[in-house]
Structure 1
Amino acid sequence: MPTHSTSKVQSAKKIKHPTYLDKTAQLFFFTEMLRGMWVVLEQFFRPPYTIFYPYEKGPLSPRFRGEHALRRYPTVDAIVEGPNFEYSTETREELLYNKEKLLANGDKWEPEIAKNLQANSYYV
Structure 2
Amino acid sequence: MLYLSYQFLIMEVFKMNAKEKLADYQRQFGVYAEANPEVMGAFGATVTAAMENSGPLDAKTMELLILVAAVSRKCEPCIYSHVMNYINVGGTKEELAAGLNAAVLICGGPGMAYSALALDLFDQYSAE
Report the TM range for the smaller structure's normalisation. under 0.3
Larger Rg: 1
Query: How high is the TM-score relative to the length of structure 2?
Result: 0.25
Between structures 1 and 2, the one with greater strand share: 1
TM-score w.r.t. structure 1 length? 0.26
Q: Which structure is richer in relative contact order (CA contacts within 8 A, separation 6 or more)?
A: 2
